[in-house]
Structure 1
Amino acid sequence: GGKSNLMDAISFVLAEKTSNLRVKTLKDLIHGAPVGKPAANRAFVTMVYQQDNGQELSFSRIIIGSSSEYRINNKVVGLSEYSDELEKLGILIKARNFLVFQVIRAASLEKDAELNQKRPLYIKAKENTAHKIKKLEAARKSLQNAQKCYKKRKADMEELDREQGAVEMARHEFEERMEEEAQSQGQDLQLEENQVKAYHRLKEEASKRAATLAQELEKFNRDQKADQDRLDLEERKKIETEAKIKQKIREIEENQKRIEKLEDYITTSRQSLDEQKRMEEELTEEVEQAKRRIDEINMELNQVMEQLGDARIDRQENSRQQRKAEILESIKRLYPGSVYGRLIDLCQPTQKKFQIAVTKVLGKNMDAIIVDSEKTGRDCIQYIKEQRGEPETFLPLDYLEVRPTDEKLRELRGAKLVIDVIRYEPPQIKKALQYACGNALVCENVEDARRIAFGGPYRHKVQRKKNHNYSLFEQMKAKRKEAELRQVQSQAHGLQMRLKYSQSDLEQTKTRHLSLNMQEKSKLESELANFGPRINDIKRIIQSREREMKDLKDRMNLVEDEVFVEFCKEIGVRNIREFEEEKVKRQNEIAKKRLEFETQKTRLAIQLDYEKNQLKEDQEKVIMWEQTVKKDENEIERLKKEEQRNMKIIDETMAQLQDLKNQHLAKKSEVNDKNHEMEEIRKKLGGANKELTQLQKEVTAIETKLEQKRSDRHNLLQACKMQDIRLPLRSGTMDDISQEEAEESLSSSQKTSSTVLAKEALIEIDYSSLSEDLKDSLSDEEIKAEMSTLQQRLNEQQSILQRISAPNMKAMEKLESVRDKFQETSDEFEAARKRAKKAKQSFEQIKKERFDRFNACFESVATNIDEIYKALSRNSSAQAFLGPENPEEPYLDGINYNCVAPGKRFRPMDNLSGGEKTVAALALLFAIHSYKPAPFFVLDEIDAALDNTNIGKVANYIKDQSVQNFQAIVISLKEEFYTKADSLIGVYPEQGDCVISKVLTFDLSQYPDANPNE
């Protein structure tokens, strides 16, 4: 993906090897090259580094064919020079102190992936069964609902049938009744039919006579309708205006109430602001006083701490303390159960406030080593002298004279015996603690100390804990006051802002809302006042027109009455209007009743058809759900059988697993036992190796002496043979003595061969002719004296011999040659011995340098990792430890790394969660990086295994460090992480002939952090 390409580009320009870039050859890094369609023949990546002085260095790496070219500031350089320039900036290519790949993520998620791949079949079968059971329950409920709907629908249909029958019967009865009424009134109906023509004729005649009046009435009706509409409109406007006026009155009242509340709030806020300012001034003064007091107490504390500096122990401060700790461990191993340890390590105050007082009282005995007896102490002193260690103080429990504790001191008010505020382990060291503490007292304050020390008839050794506690108290007081001051300042600032907003709101409410509402109210009231006259005018016009219309109607009725006067008398009605009203009314009632019957009949028919269709669908649903329920029941039966089969397999597997766990526990116990045995054997082996080394040195020295003696014997035997001195032999002959040196060139520098020496070793000289005093073991001085005597006698005999006969010059030349060769061999041996000694010294020097370099790095990492882990975890209870498996040569064996996660007890690293492992790994990485830091860090998805809480902690730590120590480039896919960045670089694909990556950048530094304290 895009982020991997970015990671490859950064690694490429920083001279990473090809094997670490996901390709076989460099040219495969060019876009399209892996598929045989490279986008170009060359490609390059340039990194620009800005130094502290503002100068910029550009590092470029260019792909040319299958190789690469390196450039610095556009100047071609070799890889070594390129690497040297990067190392000057703190970027170590081989150590890769600037890259963190995605390995952490893979390691932390490996277990989870393995578990996901091995999910039990039983769980799947159980889930399938549960799913089917739920599905069956749902199907049964649906079946029940369908059956209920079917029954209800069937009952509704029966009810509709009955209702349809009742409507048809009522309609039939109505028609019969109408027919009977028509038959009973048949004569009247015939008379009415005879008069129809007369009625229509007279109606036309009346219409013609009143045509003018009808037109006038129609005009009046139109005008009356228009005026009525205008009246309704004015009345609606009046009602709306009145409602608006009421609304404005309510708004004005609310504005007035708001103004009153705002004025009250502003008054209260100003009083509170004055109070806050007064408190701010008081707290500022108190903080300044506390700071001055802290400075005074710190000066006093520094003086006391300087006096106590010699008594403090820090085993990791320097090699001297480490050496003392190693000697202590050695004597503990030599005298197990007899050496308890240093007094300061075996006891501690019951409360932190007593630390300095206890340290002051223990004094010089604080570093003393407690042993069980005087003899053990003397043996330890002798061992320390042999190891050339520094002098140590020993407290033998059987030798110390301890005064009994004065029980009256425990009754003193405001004081405690120092021994009573100390916890110690084991109980046997109590005597040593009594010896060191005596009857010393610790007091709460200086007044009690003075009172007890000088106020009574006896003088007491009193230690006050003021130096530490007063400083802590003042610091806590100052911090508390500073926090209160910040809170008061924050409250005052908030109050000022709220007061400002309230004043602005008050001003706006007065000048804008209230004034505007008052103006609108006045405007509406004036509009309302105009509605009354207009409405009254329209009403008067309508009333006047109604009177005119009534006159017109009366005149039209008179015309009709004149026309229909004879007709009305004939049919027996007062006027034609009464006849028309009765006739139309009856016909309308009959028509309405028939329409009701038809409507009801049609409605029931439609509803009956709909219910029949729905009943058919409900019946089909019931059949479908019955089939579904039956199918699901069969499926559940099958799944239960499968579940039982899987459960049986799981039971068998669990039994096997339990057996394996038992075996694992047994093996683990055996391994622990073997590890303990191995540790003991390793310790013994270490001692044995030291002894073996010493013995090997002694053996080498003896072998060297033995070789020297063999060489001397060989030289003597050769001299005897050359001088023709016949030696008495028990085995072997004089011919076995080699003369090859005499036959070879004198320039040869080879040593006497082992074959010659082995051959000569078979020669056994007969010493039986020696005198008894020479057969006894003689010292070197005696041997030298005897040889000197024999040499003197030999010289005398040689002198006599020379006087008797001429010397054999050839023999003497041969002797000189042999002597020269012997001297040459001796010189070569001495030179070889010196070279070996020099080589050994060089080896020891390199070994020491290697140890010093490794230890410098290790001590730095071990010291920083705990602080870094605490900072990453955002919790001071978090702990991280590093310890070498081989303290003498730590680089030969592994390093133990353990962490205690916040709020949890100690657990092995393998038992930590994925997120905890990632945080621990990051702490180790940052600790290693802190030794020789690179100016930047490239981190690839380190947050993959982290939850939101740990993501926030890690992101905040990296953000803090990037401000002070290094620049961080982080590849992340989680919003919780990358929202903490100063700027974002987004990589996205762009579709085309081939997919290419595009880059987006976004600067977040110009936007404030929404949650800066998270």
Structure 2
Amino acid sequence: MGFLKQLDVENFKSWRGKQTIGPFKRFNCIIGTNGSGKSNVMDALGFVMGERAVNLRVKHTRDLIHGAHIGKPSSTFASVSMIYCGDNDEEIIFSRCISGESSEYRVNGRQVTLAKYTGELEKIGIVVKAKNCLVYQGAVESIAMMNAKERTKMFERISSSGELSAEYDAKLVALQKAKEDTQFHFNRKKAATAEKKQVFKDKTEAEKYQALVDEHREDKLQLTLFQLFHNEKKIDAQSESLRDMQDAAAQQKNSLDVYEQTVKGQKKEHGRMNRELQQLEKEIRSQEQILNQQRPQYIKAKVNTSHHEQKVEEARRSLQKNQSQQAKKEQELQELRSELAELEKTWKASERQLEEEAAQRGDGVQLEEYQVKIRDELKELARKKGAVLNQSAEKLHWEVKADCEKLQFDLRRKSEIQANIKHTQTRLEDFSRRAEKLEEFVNTTRKGLEEQRQQEEQLAEELARGRVRMEEVNEELAQVLTKLQNARLDSQENRRQQRRDEVLESLRRLYPDTVYGRLVDLCQPIHKKYQVAVTKVFGKNMNAIVVTSAKVAHDCIRFLKEERAEPETFLPIDYIDVRPLNERLREVQGAKLVVDVVQCAQSAPQLKRVIQYVCGNSLVCETLKDARRIAFDGPERLQTVALDGTLFRKSGVISGGSLDLRSKARRWEEKDMNKLKEEKDQLSSELRALMKLKRKEVDLKQIMAQSQGNQTRLKYSNSELDSIRKKSIPACQEISKLRSELSNLEAQIEIQTESVELKDNQMKAVRDKINQLEDVVFADFCTEIGVADIREYEQDYLRMQQELEKKRLQFESQHTRLSTQIEYEQAQLEKLVKQMKKIEETIRKEENVVISLKEVEDRLLIAVEETQSNLIELNNQLSEKTTSVKDAKTELDKTLKGLQEKSKVLVKLQKETICTEAALEQLRLSKHNLLLSCKIDGLPLTLISGALDDISDIQVRTEESQSVSTLDIYEREAQMVFDYSTLDSGLKALTEESEVEAELEKLKEGVSSLESMIMMSRAPNLKALEKIREVKDSFREVMDAFETSTHTTKKCSQEFEQVKSKRFHLFSQCFEHVSVVIDQIYKKLCRNASAQAILSAENPNEPYLDGINYNCVAPGKRFMAMDNLSGGEKAIAALALVFAIHSFRPAPFFVLDEVDAALDNTNIGKVTGFFRMMSRESCQIIVISLKEEFYSRADALLGVYSMFDECMFSRLLTLDLTPYPLNEETATDREKDK
């Protein structure tokens, strides 16, 4: 079993200089970091095996030299040598060297050609084209994702059957061409044989043909004489009838002219009255417009005046309120001033009384000078002896004095608080009264606003409905007017249509139960959007006349010819061939059958058959895109039509919509013009009524203005009420605060009063002690001056001083309080007076404004009343004029009705005249065409007077019948006298029209029968013998060509079968081998006998023409498509296919690049186990891997690492792992290796 020993590389890609890669063991792993050059080892193997540069990840061969990729090649050449050891340990060295773009190949040092080189590689089992020993990076994933066709190409490459593909295709094309030639010559042979048989029949058929022609000539002569005889009799009768009708029509025309003059005068008078009526309506609209402008101005002025009057009233109420407040303030001020004057008067009286008392006390004890000195010394002595008591008494005196002053202050503060409480209560009462009045006003205003809001909503709703309805009426009226305008634009077409309708009415009268009418009048699309599409599908049948039977249709056509009317299309219900509907078309998405969007009139349900005949299986689609898709993209072509009229036929012809089509589609909406006119009149009347409703807009504006004014006043009242409430809250809080303070103050006064009384008692006790001390000290002195004690002398004087001081303090307190209150009340009064002056000024200004606004309001009111008066007068005139116009219109309609009756009579006479002229013309035309046919056919007519040469060769038509030349022709033909002696006497004796028609039909049937026999018979071939000779020569030539092409086809078939057999053998040999081996390999890879791998060919007879399916059943899973397997399962399946293909053409070694990328640890263990087994049994394995779980089980590791200077270059480290035992799972295997 041969193996790869080592690689010698020199300046190849990342390998700088000369380096040896190896030696290789049975199972080798190449490891290294990304970018270190691992894959370049595989590229080196591919290079030495002769791979092209494209497959080695470079564009040019020179790029394989080390450093060339950065523009700095380290050498001018690169080489790789592969040392291979055969079964007998014989070494074979394969070398490849490149220099520039050229390559040199050597085997054991001997230079050989590329073909010889690849041949030597194939001897050891390496097929370069099949790549049976190299699996590049990503190849496993790409094999897993291959489709069936790509797998077939891979098998063709491996089996070499693909090399026969070009020859196979060429032989197949040649065989097909040969078969086509053979078929062509075979068809020519059949045609030549048939032509040969036909020539021999010509002679017999010629004799029969001539006998039929002679018999037909004799019968046609009898038919012509019969037709001429009875035609001349009808011409004489019709000429007489025509003269009578022309006389009656002339008399009726003269009577009609007189009536038309009367109608013309009445129309002129009616037009004049209509113009006057329109002028009145215009003046009314103008006056209404003026009134609509004046009313809002008047309402605005009135609201403005009312607003200013209300402001004056409010100012006056405010002034009255302030005046009452002023009187109250002045009274309070007067009372305070009186109280102050009374206080001052009382104080002066008290002063005079004290002075009088002092004067009276002046006559008491009088001390001498030495006694005063003794008193002072005793006073000093008493002071010293009673110093402590004096200090206590002094202290208590000042405390009592301080408490008294504080008590007096609190009493004054109490009076002020009581006054403030009284004042604040007065303000609060005023606020309450104002708030009550404002609340009453707010409630009244809100009720008024609610009533106005309801009126406003009712009017607004009524006006909104009126506006919406007015828009709807305007739109409907515009549509009706447009339809009527279109109808007037098509007046010429309408006149033509009117003539055709008159003809149709004549047919209905003649055949009342068998002629139904035009198709367009008997059905209708279920929605307007289908009108154009249905018109397109109906086409020329839209105006077709529906009749019960083909016989009725023939009778109608004969009538049209006699009336010289325009051609019409007839649809006989019993004659038309109606194809059954394809019910599957009702299930087509985005389309409907045209039959389903057309509804028949209730009076003609039998029309469904006619509509089905006209529409067929046509489909109508919403959009052009859907119509095109459904018509051409399905399994079969369908006829579809878009809503815009674009028709897609099965043949591929597309016809678009047009203006003419839309004009025709208007026929659906123009079937009843009288209804449109009635609708126009009704809409116009409704529009005038709605215009009158607009006058209520003025009332609405007035209500809205009043509502707005009330809302403004309500807003101000609410604002003022909120302000009063906000002011009342602080006032209440102030009263509460003052009352709380008053309560605290009263408690404090009570406490201070008790404190003063207590200290007075204490001070009295101290004073008693001092008095006792003074009594001892002043005992002798008091005896000397004749008083009981010293206090008796001092008491009167001190008491008087104390009383005076007390009264003075009370007076000052009361005086200060009254003065302060007078100043405050005076300031409030002055403020109130200023406010009153300001209000009086406002009243004067607002009164002046009200006067000026009143004048404007009066002027506007006069203008509104004048306009209303004018409007009433104009409306009265309008009513009178409308009545006059209606009367005139009634009279005109009556006259027009009479004119129409006379016109109908005249038209009827003219129609009868025209019909008679047409009938006469038709008879003359029939006679002329009959004579012309005799002249052309050469019938031997016998003439008593005139000759057949006098008959004009011009083919006379209906529209040319009135020309001068045609009349000349008819005149000449009338002078001819024919010999009817050869005509059977029984035929000449017929007088009834029915008998003549029956005999004529009988003769025509005889002639037609002979003509049919002649037409069905072939004309004799005068050159039959010459034709037979030509056919024989042609037949011999065709037979020779057919034999030659048959021989060529057999030869091509043999050559094709040889190539086919060889290609099938090569492919089948490979496919059968792989399909057998792959299941075993897959089981080994999965280590599970339940795993299955199946290869199957889509085309068993020629598998290389179609795909190859590859499916795997993973262990423990059900069957799934390859795309549904996991990444690891796909990789295992792909590896099974790779090794199965390798087993077909086994190479001595197998190199794989990163095949474990998508495998987890479990699958890696399975794959490495399989690789170790393969390396022992069949071939050497070299794997590039990055996963430790993989390369740890190899026999040898080749570590590639990179180094850098100017350019990165690779280096190699080799490690033999056979001396190292494997882990417990594979220890047994490793022991074997040892």
TM-score of the superposed pair, with normalisation by structure 1: 0.31
TM-score of the superposed pair, with normalisation by structure 2: 0.26
Q: Which structure would you say has the larger RCO, counting Cα contacts within 8 Å and 6 or more residues apart?
A: 2
Structure number, greater radius of gyration: 2
